[in-house]
Amino acid sequence: MQELKTPNHRPGENLIEFDQWAALAKTDPAAFEAKRAAAVEAAIERLPPERQARMRCLQWKIDRVRDRAANPMAACIKLSEMMWDSLVGPGGLRDTLEQVGQGRFEPPPRAQVLEFQRPR
């Protein structure tokens, strides 16, 4: 099997092969999970700084779906549903592109951040 390549793959960077990931998941789930988390974090760190916080929030949400799922297939189905919703659901990419195409897109308003005093 060929080495996994990603759009942000850097020459000389070793990415684990699928068969190795699968074997590790079967033989040492804790090591697999640690390696998966490190790989996700490394991918996020390669993004521009202004996108990293959003991607960490998204990864947190993905991890919570995985935690609550009865099994890996249930998690996969739920995550697939989430991706489809973000594409074709209300307020998804398709809606946004249609609004842009019709000249009626308005970016969401910026929220005012309130500062709260800590109780003494």
How does residue 82 score in pLDDT terms, banded at 50, 70 and 90?
A: very high
The residue among 78 and 11 whose pLDDT is bigger is 78
Q: In whole angstroms, how far apart are CA 52 and each of 19, 56, 87, 118?
A: 29, 6, 21, 28
79 alpha-carbon distance from chain centroid: 10
Provide, for the chain, the percentages of residues in helix, strand and coil under a 3-state DSSP scheme, each rounded to the nearest 5. Answer: 60, 0, 40
pLDDT top residue among 104 and 56: 56
How far CA 77 is from CA of 54, 62, 84, in Å, comes to 23, 12, 11
pLDDT of residue 2 exceeding 60: no
